[in-house]
Structure 1
Amino acid sequence: MQKPIILLLLCCVLFSCEKSKEKSIRFTPTFTISTETTHTIPAGQEYTFGYLEVLENREKPAGKTIQLPVYIFKSRSNNPKPDPIIYTVGGPGNSTMRSAQYMKYYQYLDDRDVILFEQRGTEFAKPSLDCPAWSEAIYKSNFPEYNEAKRDSLLEAAARTCRERLIAQGVDLNSYNTNAIAADIEDLRKVLHIEKYNLLTISYSTKIAQVLLRDYPTPIRSVVMDSPLPLEVNYEEESVGNLLEVVTMLLSDCEEDEKCAEKFPNIKNRFFQYLRDATENPLQVTVTNPNTGKPATFHLQGKDLITVFTVTNSNNSAYVPNEIQKLLNNDLSSVKAQLESLFDRPTQFSGSGMGMRLSVWCAEEYPFASKNIIVAEKTTYSEVLGLSPMVFEPNICGIWKVQPLKAIENKAIQSDVPVLLLSGEYDHETPVKWASAMQKNLSNSYHLVFKGWTHTVTTNWGNPCGMEVANAFFNNPNQKPQSKCFEAMQALEFVTE
């Protein structure tokens, strides 16, 4: 009877030694320069491209590593400021690398270096958590023959396919979240020996900025949060209400504008009544499927028609009342054009970064949202009855099976680092009120609202005023940015012809 006990003790000792050995391993992140880039950079722009190598799971020091592409663009100044800007975009799941082709338009390079950072799991990272099955399912689900039940089944199958493929590749889906991305940026800072830096973040990536301010604040000189998404906000509890609030605001502004009110009298009440009527008696619209040449008939309710006219582009805001008037006059040309576009198979962004988006959302957004409030969001507003506020339905997160993050990831941060909050007046995705509420915890912050604009004001290529304001702040983060373009900004002039 003694022999098995001795063997058991020996195994325990060996196992303990192995665990101790693993704990003693200290992986050091590296940055390796590469001559093969993600995009072709126009001649004349000096840059360095390479890959940051970090642990996929920092709790496993002997585990696998991942590679994240990084561009370091040199300033156009002969005497650049010593603190670069680290820039990463939103989504979650979007790629920052696409900006590399257009850096000559970025005003920031007039004063300092700009570093483009690709978040783990996105398109050009290694691995990329792409999900082509999901993209295909979204494409098919837009067809009129797919009712809600069929659509759910289609998306569930796609989520399973994507998860199984990524798991088979050895991907740890629990390691793709905002905390890990923030730690990646801190590793990049250390590897590049950057003492102080500035952050430029938009939409989802403003959450990364908040985690960095909370967990790694010392080297951060200043932060621009364009269209901020506060950590403490439960997006899906408010998304439908925020949409209706912005549409109400825009149409109310039209009614207060003499020219717009004369052209489109009482447009707000007429449009909302139209949506309620369509909810009870769906609007039947037939278009030709260009792939088959056969007719396809859609039955549109208020929840469908409101999304036709959501304000998603600052350059389009002025046209919204005119487009609504066309609909009220039974001119379905714009609706038909948008329905026909649903049959166009996407040639890019085909599921790239979708696995990362699923991991982020299902680990740190979905777990904190109140299911009762979400149900109420679907039934509270008669104009869009049944419109789901959810980015991913519970069954999808149930399939994805990532661990919920700790409650601190749903708590507001406090910071005295200089922060500039930028909002678009008609942004329903990250509304003005969210940034306004954040200010009470950011003691050294400023908030600017761009009249008539919508989401992500620093990327409005039709008017680079948002970029000008952000750059002014980076150059002097201890005062509210002074910008002639912003001071000259007027209320939106609606298109009435």
Structure 2
Amino acid sequence: MSPGTTPSRRPARRLPATLAATTAGALVVGLAALPAHAESGNDGPIGTVARTVGDARFEPGPCPRTADPIPDLARARCGTLTVPEKRSKAKEAKEAKGPRSHAGRKITLAVAIMPAESSSPAPDPIVWLAGGPGDDAVSEIPMALAGHLNRDRDVIFMSQRGTYSADPELTCPNIDRFNARALGLVSNAPSTGRLHVEATRACRDRVDAQGADRSTYDDIESSADYEALRRTLRVKKWNVFGISYGTHLALNYMRLHPKGIRSVGIDGILPPSIAGGAVTWKAAREGFDGLFKACARQPACNTRYPNLKATFLRLVSELEAHPITTTVTVPVHPEPVKVVLDGSNLVTWLTSATHVAAGVPRSIDELAHGNPQRIAEQLAGGKYSPQAIGRVAHGLVYGVFCRQWTPYESRADIIRGGRRAFPSFPRSMLANAPQLAWLHDDCRTWDVPPAPPSVRNVTRSDIPTLALSGGFDAQTAPSNGAYVARTLSRSTTVTVPYVAHVVFADSQCAQTITTSFFARPTAPNTSCLAGLQPPQFEIAS
């Protein structure tokens, strides 16, 4: 994986350009409309009153800028939450009764509240925790509304610290541009690792130049931000819905601040207690196997592409030993793009290509017969897409990875995880887990202290929880749902077959299950699962 990205990242429909339609970037600024909605105390609709609680202040105001147009923001109620960047500094200054200038740096987080579709919404809203780490919650509004998550409740979106519509914005476009150029490099070459580190160092210097404290961008501070938002909005109880990395944050949030949570939905689950490279290898194995088995059970696919799994595993080893170099044309890039297709890049491709599973067997078969173009085009289309540049907050990405993951997982752990999942893969691949290449090297450069060990604790709770997974999810293992459910006494575990990472985005059945869960958290309606069918795989002539 490129520096500063994550296996759990599944932003709002951000797939490679050749895998999904994209929209042009723009800035959107709107003023809040104020229809009748779920009320916050006696103050009227949530988000219409300025309020200070402790060190946090919510201010109603214009809607935030967004990278792509979001017309629905025209009917949102918006504002900002201002909080200390580092709460321990603010507390120390308060206790010392020092001058206001010593109270510590403040940061500002954008808030958008989308009204419920119902004219009489329930009083407990849903708060959306974005994927990533590093994705902006406001950008995921279209996904939430397409799934009618706001059918009966207002849905609250707050940009996590460092993300696109927050201040400071800790994006590093140099990382994204390097990710694109790195397609022309051998993934596991030491020279590629050195370039990873150089890109990370430049990002670190950019973050430092903004005066940001790199050690404050993690789940602990983000959880406190969401709790501050709930209190400043005067919401007695709310529901939490996290996707991808947002599940990681949700599990820590419900462990650290359970009091105000009515229920929790998590989709594409990455448990903090096991997050890292080893579980990424496991996720790839489970998602790939789900797809390969579906092909094997479909007579036409199995006949045309027999032994698809064995073919893929063989190609990974062959390409790692003897990479193929090709050039492809990308619509948004003026020059031909060089792609080195080695074993690691092939694995990286498939972790995303499970989202368009119907074409995967044909692509693998073409590669096996000497034609890498389809796979190379999909890889390049994703990395060179405008949606891949300048959107992700790498300051938050590295904060989570380098404070919460790498201090508690060694390279040897990652290698063992890779060997368990894929015994046939060359050793040269195993230290660089899918989408997490050179992570330990990058984190040494990022240079932040480890978070307290408790950040890796298993979440134990009786809060009603819906644990959603996709049978084709190669980014966060489908089995992670059952793993977290062991210590969530009132949980419902659902695996939606034939769907990849973040099922809410792609499955109407998952959307139905989710909205029914928030209506009745102890009895979601899962009857739609019985009628689901596998994709019709493309059959080449």
Which TM-score applies when normalising by structure 1? Answer: 0.86
Contact 2:85 2:107 in 1 (8 A): yes
User: Which structure 1 residue ranges, 5 or more long, are not aligned?
Assistant: 1-25
The CA distance in 1 between the partners of 2:330 and 2:112, in whole Å, is 42
Asked whether 1:47 is paired with 2:76, we answer: yes
Aligned to 2:324: 283
- Write the letter of the residue equivalent to 2:517: F
Give the counterpart letter for 2:510 in structure 1.
Answer: G
Higher deviation after alignment, 468-477 or 105-114: 105-114
The structural deviation recorded for 1:45 is 6.2
Q: Which of these residues, 51, 54, 60, is aligned with residue 89 of structure 2? A: 60
Does the residue aligned with 2:467 lie in a helix, a strand or coil?
strand
Preserved contact between residue 354 and residue 360 of structure 2 (Cα < 8 Å): no
Structure with the greater relative contact order (CA < 8 A, sep ≥ 6): 1 or 2? Answer: 2
Identity of aligned residues (%): 28
Q: Judging changes above 3 Å, is the alpha-carbon distance between structure 1 residues 429 and 496 closer, same or farther for their aligned structure 2 residues?
A: same
Deviations 1:392-443 (A, max 9, x none): 5222111111110111111211100100000000112111111111111000
Aligned mates of 1:104, 1:67 — CA distance in 2: 25
1:277-426 equivalences in 2 (<5 Å) = 277-287=318-328, 296=338, 299-314=340-355, 316-338=356-378, 341=381, 344=384, 346=386, 349-350=389-390, 352-377=392-417, 381-383=423-425, 385-387=427-429, 388-389=432-433, 390=436, 392-426=438-472
2:512 matched residue in structure 1 = 468
Structure 2 CA distance for partners of 1:437 and 1:364, relative to 1, 3 Å: same
What residue ranges of structure 2 are gaps of 5+ in the alignment? 1-52, 91-102
Alignment of 1:442-481 (within 5 A): 442-460=488-506, 463-479=507-523, 481=524
**Corresponding letter in the other structure for 2:392:** S
Q: Give CA deviations for 1:39-98 in whole Å, capped at 9, x if unaligned.
A: 565379642100001111100121111110011122222211010000121100001111
Considering only CA atoms, is the larger Rg found in Structure 1 or Structure 2? 1
Deviation sequence 1:126-165 (CA, Å, 0-9, x none): 1111112222322322224898333223222222222223
Instruction: Call closer, same or farther: CA 1:345–1:486 in 2, change over 3 Å.
Output: closer
In the alignment, the residues of structure 1 paired with residue 375 and residue 143 of structure 2 have an alpha-carbon distance, to the nearest angstrom, of 33
> SS state of the match for residue 67, structure 1?
strand
Equivalent position SS for 1:223:
strand
Mapped to 1, the partners of 2:372 and 2:203 lie a distance apart of 37
Change (3 A) 1:223 1:253: same
Change (3 A) 1:101 1:34: farther
1:340 deviates by: 5.4
Q: Does the 8 Å CA contact 1:198/1:223 hold for their aligned counterparts? A: yes
CA distance in 1 between partners of 2:411 and 2:372 (Å): 36
Residue 285 of structure 2 is aligned with which of 234, 244, 247?
244
> Which amino acid letter does the alignment assign opposite residue 95 of structure 1?
D
- How far has the Cα of 1:268 moved from its partner? 2.3
1: distance between equivalents of 2:497 and 2:348? 22
Give deviations 1:240-277, integer Å, cap 9, x for gaps. Answer: 34323432342233223322222222222233223333
Contact 2:359 2:537 in 1 (8 A): yes
Give the aligned CA root-mean-square deviation in angstroms: 2.7
* 264-273 vs 82-91, which moves further: 264-273
| Matched residue SS, 2:195 | helix
| Whole-angstrom distance in 2 between the partners of 1:145 and 1:474 | 47
Summarize the Cα distance change of 1:308–1:292 in structure 2 as closer, same or farther, 3 Å threshold.
Answer: same
Q: How does 1:187-226 map to 2 (within 5 A)?
A: 187-226=228-267
Residues 1:144 and 1:366: Cα distance change in structure 2 (over 3 Å): closer
1:34 corresponds in structure 2 to: 61
Distance 1:172 1:327, change over 3 A: same
The answer as to 2:155 corresponding to 1:155 is no
1:139 aligns with 180
TM-score, length basis structure 2: 0.79
SS at match of 1:180: helix
Which residue in 2 is equivalent to 1:12? none
